[in-house]
Amino acid sequence: METVRGKVALITGGARGIGLEFAQVLLKNGLKGVAIVDVNEEAGNRAIDKINKEYSLEKAIFLFADVSDFEQLKETFKKTMDKFKQLDIVINNAAVIDEENWKNAISINCTGVVNGTLLALNDYLPKFKSGDEGIIINMSSIGALEQNAGLPILPIYCSTKSFVLWYSRKISLAESNANKKIRVLTICPGLTNTALLNNEDSLKEMATLIGMQDLAQ
């Protein structure tokens, strides 16, 4: 993990779950600082308190933003630069499972990733990365890879994650980005017990479909 030493990261959906785990692992391996972006202010402040106790008061900041709102998200990039004077890694992790309010799911899971990727790729990482290379990580899902990935009851969610996967692949190959020295990576985790599955009914339904032993912590 020497590649993260002295770097600065911005993580959307970073207040809990996989996003917070990213922050902690990166800090443990020498990250200079992290901006945690989330709509949940209470969880965000708890995350910062946890990081401050374990690391340093200067290592992390919490920034409120709805990732589907370009201007709100852009402001978090600006504030990250104000605090740390550099930006090297952007992790677009914010997501929701909302099959009923599908427009909300598409706005956050798809538009949010596009907003974060374009801000990182066009405006911030090329100018403000501290080394030769910047990194964008977009969080997809195993549900984007396989038809029978254990998520048959979540067609909207899985479809949005398919979008993330293919958008990330295509933009990483775009000729206009060839000389920016920015890597665009996609991670497709399996079903994980995070705030996305935040009620007992959801967990029971998933357990019935795939077996609780397959639900990662």
Give catalytic residue positions. 157
- Rounded to whole angstroms, the Cα distance separating 19 from 95 reads 10
**How are strands ordered across the β-sheet holding 182-187?**
60-64, 33-38, 8-12, 89-92, 134-139, 182-187
Q: Could you tell me whether strands 33-38 and 182-187 are parallel, antiparallel, or unpaired per DSSP bridges?
A: unpaired
Q: How far is CA 174 from CA 22, 128, 159, 162, 203, in A?
A: 27, 21, 22, 18, 39
- Rounded to whole angstroms, the Cα distance separating 175 from 107 reads 27
- Rounded to whole angstroms, the Cα distance separating 119 from 114 reads 8
- Rounded to whole angstroms, the Cα distance separating 177 from 191 reads 32
- Rounded to whole angstroms, the Cα distance separating 215 from 131 reads 37
